[in-house]
Amino acid sequence: MLNVPKTGETSYADGKILQGIVDGVGVVTFNNPDKRNAMSLEMWEGFGQALTALRDDPAVRVVILVGAGDKAFVSGADISQFEKTRHNAEASEEYSKRSAAQRALLADYPKPTIACIRGFCLGGGMQVAMLADIRIAGSGSQFGIPAAKLGIAYGYDGLRHLVSLVGPSWARLIMYTGMRINSAEAQRIGLVDRVLDDAEVWDATLEIARTISGNAPLAIKAAKITIAQVLKDPAERDMAAIKQIGIDCMDSEDFREGRTAFMEKRKPQFRGR
């Protein structure tokens, strides 16, 4: 079991999505361990609600996404719902719209996000993990996109992120075979950033989150905005947004605090303004 501290949790989707705050770090837990945290439509919607609540909470500076139990991050969409909700192109479009709306929230999330991955990270779970800013994985984790084994077309956004992380060749190998790869291979190809012992992955992720939340929020926002623009096609880049966040940073109280604290040899206290 992951020793995720449970403080002031709010639940969505009949408890299958949990949202809590640990030391100023927001945590969203995919909580359907009996089904390896497979995502039903209700869970996608609950996920969106939890993300929105943490986005709008000024006390939260960074958000961790984690799966309950030790067997899975998320094993993909809940296949048992497919017969009813995703059986043909028309139904699938409606299904995709409802789940994509929640993933769009994560894609445009204004705060840093970290996926803490143990066990299976498959299909839609990979999509969630790839949309997070950073991926920290346990050594026993396994990754794959079994769309070709099910007859599903994996969407543009998911593939765009896969290609940007692992390159087109590995993306093809993963998609054409539907194979699962282990944590060492996932790290080697750039799918995950750091691999730790399963027992240490939660504490290590929380430590990174705490470090981020102690840094200057505007400087982190500047990095987040700028890196997102770098990944876009040149014609779509919002250079004005990059310029504006640069101005906001350099005119901020936090920049003054950062340089004063350095000169006074003390830890800075950042306020995000």
170 is an interface residue for ligand COA by CB under 6 A: no
Of the pair 53, 79, the CB lying nearest ligand COA is at 79
| Per-residue mark of binding to ligand COA, 14-53 (x: CB under 6 A) | ---------------------xx-x---------------
| Out of 28, 41, 65, 77, the residue judged to bind ligand COA by CB under 6 A | 77
Q: Cα separation of 87 and 128, whole Å?
A: 23
Of the pair 21, 147, the CB lying nearest ligand COA is at 147
SS3 content of the chain, % helix, strand, coil (to 5): 55, 20, 30
Q: Cα separation of 194 and 204, whole Å?
A: 10
Q: Which residue is nearest to ligand COA (CB)?
A: 76
158: amino acid identity, one letter: G
| Cβ at position 137, least distance to ligand COA in Å | 16
| Out of 22, 79, 241, 242, the residue judged to bind ligand COA by CB under 6 A | 79
- Region binding ligand COA by CB under 6 A among candidate stretches 89-97, 116-124, 132-140, 210-218: 116-124
Phi-psi region of 253 (alpha: psi -120 to 50; beta: other; left: phi over 0): alpha
228 is an interface residue for ligand COA by CB under 6 A: no
Which pairs with CB-CB distance under 8 Å and at least 24 residues apart come from 250-256?
252/216, 252/218, 254/216, 254/217, 254/218, 254/219, 255/216, 255/218
Q: Which residues pair with 116 in a beta bridge?
A: 66, 136
120 is an interface residue for ligand COA by CB under 6 A: yes
| Out of 20, 67, 112, 146, the residue judged to bind ligand COA by CB under 6 A | 146
| Out of 20, 112, 123, 258, the residue judged to bind ligand COA by CB under 6 A | 123
Sequence-separated (6 or more) residues with CB below 8 Å from residue 108: none
For residues 74 and 92, is the Cβ–Cβ distance under 8 A?
Answer: no
**Residue 208, token pair as written in the block:** 């990174």
Of residues 164, 37, 31, the one with CA closest to residue 107: 164
Of the pair 21, 152, the CB lying nearest ligand COA is at 152
80 is an interface residue for ligand COA by CB under 6 A: yes
- Region binding ligand COA by CB under 6 A among candidate stretches 106-114, 115-123, 155-163, 253-261: 115-123
78 is an interface residue for ligand COA by CB under 6 A: yes
Sequence-separated (6 or more) residues with CB below 8 Å from residue 42: 13, 14, 16
Q: Which residues bind ligand COA (CB under 6 A)?
A: 35-36, 38, 71, 75-80, 120, 122-124, 146, 150, 152
